[in-house]
Structures are given as C-alpha cells and as structure tokens.
Structure 1
Amino acid sequence: MTEKDDLRHKGMRKKLADGLKVKGIRNPDVLEAIRKVPRHLFMESSFIHFAYKDQAFPIGAGQTISQPYTVAFQTELLEVEKNDKVLEVGTGSGYQAAVLLEMGAKVFTIERQKELFLKVQSFLPEIGYHPACFFGDGYKGLPGFAPFDKILVTAGASSIPPELKEQLKIGGRMVIPVGHENHQEMLVVERISEEEYKTKKHGGFVFVPLLKGTVN
C-alpha cells in the first residue's frame, strides 16, 4: 500500500466532492471532509486507480468500502456537529470513521471482524486519525461509553437493535439502513424522550448485512 498523497490525489478528491454536490449532497462540512480524507490509502493497491470513482469496492473479509455517495449521504443525515460523541457500528476500512473525525466528531467505532479491527486500529493512527476502536458485536453497541450524541450504522440491519436505541442520548440521532439482504431503507431515528423515538425513511440502499457476534 502506498502512503503517498499527492496533488493528483487531491485533485481527484475535489472532483469527487464536486460530483457528490451535483448528486445532492449539500452540507459543506461533509463535502470538505470528502475532499480531505485520502480514500486511496484505504484500498488494496490493485484498486487504488478506482479510489475516487463513486463506487463501492471490496476490502477483504467479505466487506466493502462504501460508495462515497453513500458515506456522504449517511453523514449528512447524521447532522454531525463539532465534538459530537459518535458511535460507528461497522468500522470496515475505517474510511467513514476518518470522515467523521475530519468533521470534528469524537468517534467510537466497533467492528466484529478481528482481521479488519486489527488492520484499522494500526492503520488509522499512521495517517493521522485517532478514533477509539473496539472489537465486538455491533448489535450490542458500547453501553459502557453511552450515551452517544449520534450513532451511525454502516451495514444493513434486519431491524433496529434495541440496545443501540437505548445508547442514544435524548435529542440524539441514529442513521441506520434497515431491511432485507438485497434492499434496505435508510432510517433516521431520533430519541425524543426516555421512551419516545421518531423514525423517518430516506430512500433505498443496499449494504452488506449487519451480523451478530464476532469473527476471530
């Protein structure tokens, strides 16, 4: 993997962000984060030339690095503010965590695949990103660090995990794709009070499934 990030890469990122704006991403902080995070460093060398295309690509362990539009769309829905305490469920390549960190969030990220967890835990600090990384079952979240201002789920769940809802602070917001294997609805769940939640749909997507348990 190359550790180089040159002017050509920066130009490609600007072009990518401009394309996302055309596709409807409006939040300037999200677009700026996309312009800053060196996505090519998160990919296997054989895919580096595809790094700034608006496509998902495999990263190993049966997972993908999400399409930039999807990352930007979920991040925009999350309404991240500086110093927000954000739980990310499904670390994957670490790219989404880096985008959240660029926006000034305090990121707690959990991954069920040991191989990906170990890779990201060592890789992200090397390129200047320092989330709190955890190996564990994303369905259970991180109750010891709750409540969270925001929760972002980066895999398709069959239903909204009750443990994650409980880890949202009142006034908090969760973005989660929910549905079947080949189609999920992007949901925004807002916690109104101790017992009350409001859910809104934001269109159809396809994610790898959110699975229970861990893989060593």
Structure 2
Amino acid sequence: MKDTLKHQGLRNKLVKTIKDKGIKSAAVLQAIGRVPRHLFMDSGFLDHAYVDKAFPIAADQTISQPYTVAFQTELLNVKKGDVILEIGTGSGYQTAILLELGAKVYTIERQQELFRKTSLFLPKIGYRPKKLIFGDGYQGYEEGAPYSGIIVTAGAPMVPNALLSQLAVGGRLVIPVGDDIQIMTLIIRKSETEFEKHEYGEFRFVPLLEDKN
C-alpha cells in the first residue's frame, strides 16, 4: 500500500478541480489533498482514484465523488475536537477526511462485509475513529451523543428523529433527503426544540438501508 509522489500530484489536481467547482474551505481542501483515496479502492480502479467521480465498492455501495465528500464536509463546518457521527462508513474515505480535520468520529455501517473490511483497513493506514459500529444508521448512536455534527452518506427518504435528538444545540446535521434524487439538506439545532433547515440542490446517493443483515 504505497502513496507515491505521483499519487500526491494527482491529488493536487483533484483539489484544484473541486476548488474550481466551488469548495472554499481551506481545511477541507487540505484534507482531500492528504487522504490517499487510491488506497480505499480496489486496485483495478487505481487509474480512476483521483477522477472526481463515485465508484463501486463492495456490497453494492459506492465510494462517494470527492466533490460530494467535500461539499458535505464543508457544510458540516468541522472544528478540531468536534465529536462527529457518520452514518454509512462505506469504504472509510469520508471517515478519514473527518479525522484529518481533527474530529473525534463515531461511524456506523450496516453492511457486514464493509464493516469488517473497513474496521481492519482504517487503522492499518493510520486512521482511528473513536468507534466503528455495526448497526442501523436510522437509530444513530446514543452512547456518543450529543454530537457537534452528524453526516449521512446515503439517501434517506426522511430525516430520522433519532438523529435530530442526538444533535447538540448549535450542532449541524448534513443529510441527503429524497428517494431517487436527494436534496442536500443542512439542519442546525438552535435550541432544545428549534431546528433551522437549509437546502443545497440535488445529489444522487445510494439509499440509506434500515434493516440489519
């Protein structure tokens, strides 16, 4: 598992691409520039690792498009030391980006195959989330709450109440909401009872699955 100067050069190009598409956060762009995305993909896809596209991984899931990862992460507005809940660990790429930003990450995956693979893989390349959980993302993870931020990396038909309840006051939930096409949605908790909602256009995600294997 090598990360060469060539890979670094390709990452720098990728950073420029997503910056040109409108990502402004210097911290997010630096994180994209540091995480070796090619290590998160099957070797057959190495040529595509630094193209701004989603690609298939195991269990009929995908590694998200880097622009989408950057867009969601920018909306999350992560600060060093923030406790973040990620719903949908997948390949672990988004997890690594959050860890690069200095977050303490709890991450949930419901596909056993991906859960096993990513649990072993992330520490091997130096990324250690606070906890990687095999479970139902719709339920969140009460034990780590309240969270400064919650990021959902799959399309949900609605916003799960459990996630809203686990958000700290002032916390941000970034979730793609919808069936075939999702609207990227940011929800900010203003008080115990008040939430503020913002919408940021259409995206396509694999669906958030409810029942466990």
Please classify the TM superposition score into its range, dividing by the shorter chain length.
over 0.9
Q: Read off the aligned partner of 2:154 and give its amino acid letter.
A: A
Provide the rounded CA distance (Å) in 1 between the counterparts of 2:34 and 2:20. Answer: 18
Structure 2 unaligned spans of 5+: none
Provide the rounded CA distance (Å) in 1 between the counterparts of 2:188 and 2:26. Answer: 23
Provide the rounded CA distance (Å) in 1 between the counterparts of 2:34 and 2:172. Answer: 25
Structure 1 unaligned spans of 5+: none
Provide the rounded CA distance (Å) in 1 between the counterparts of 2:148 and 2:212. Answer: 25
Runs of 4+ in 1 over 2 A off after TM superposition: none
Provide the rounded CA distance (Å) in 1 between the counterparts of 2:182 and 2:100. Answer: 27
Please show how residues 60-209 of structure 1 align to structure 2 within 5 Å.
Answer: 60-131=58-129, 132-180=131-179, 182-209=180-207
Q: How far 1:48 moved relative to its partner?
A: 1.1
Provide the rounded CA distance (Å) in 2 between the counterparts of 1:213 and 1:65. Answer: 21
Q: Read off the aligned partner of 1:49 and give its amino acid letter.
A: D
Provide the rounded CA distance (Å) in 1 between the counterparts of 2:74 and 2:170. Answer: 17
Q: How far 1:213 moved relative to its partner?
A: 1.8
Q: Read off the aligned partner of 1:102 and give its amino acid letter.
A: E
Q: How far 1:147 moved relative to its partner?
A: 0.6
Q: How far 1:125 moved relative to its partner?
A: 0.4
Q: TM-score, normalised by structure 1?
A: 0.97
User: What SS does structure 2 have at the residue aligned with 1:189?
Assistant: strand
Provide the rounded CA distance (Å) in 1 between the counterparts of 2:8 and 2:106. Answer: 27
Q: Read off the aligned partner of 1:213 and give its amino acid letter.
A: D
Please show how residues 31-70 of structure 1 align to structure 2 within 5 Å.
Answer: 31-70=29-68
Q: How far 1:159 moved relative to its partner?
A: 0.2
Q: Read off the aligned partner of 2:87 and give its amino acid letter.
A: V
Provide the rounded CA distance (Å) in 2 between the counterparts of 1:126 and 1:79. Answer: 27
Provide the rounded CA distance (Å) in 2 between the counterparts of 1:211 and 1:198. Answer: 26
Q: Read off the aligned partner of 2:78 and give its amino acid letter.
A: V
Q: Read off the aligned partner of 2:200 and give its amino acid letter.
A: H
Q: Read off the aligned partner of 1:139 and give its amino acid letter.
A: Y
User: What SS does structure 1 have at the residue aligned with 2:158?
Assistant: coil
Aligned residues: 212
Q: How far 1:212 moved relative to its partner?
A: 0.4
In structure 1, the residue matched to 2:209 is 211
User: What SS does structure 1 have at the residue aligned with 2:23?
Assistant: coil
Provide the rounded CA distance (Å) in 2 between the counterparts of 1:48 and 1:125. Answer: 21
2:6 matches 1:8: yes
Q: How far 1:117 moved relative to its partner?
A: 0.6
Q: How far 1:211 moved relative to its partner?
A: 1.1
User: What SS does structure 2 have at the residue aligned with 1:60?
Assistant: coil
Q: How far 1:145 moved relative to its partner?
A: 1.4
- Give me the identity figure in percent: 58
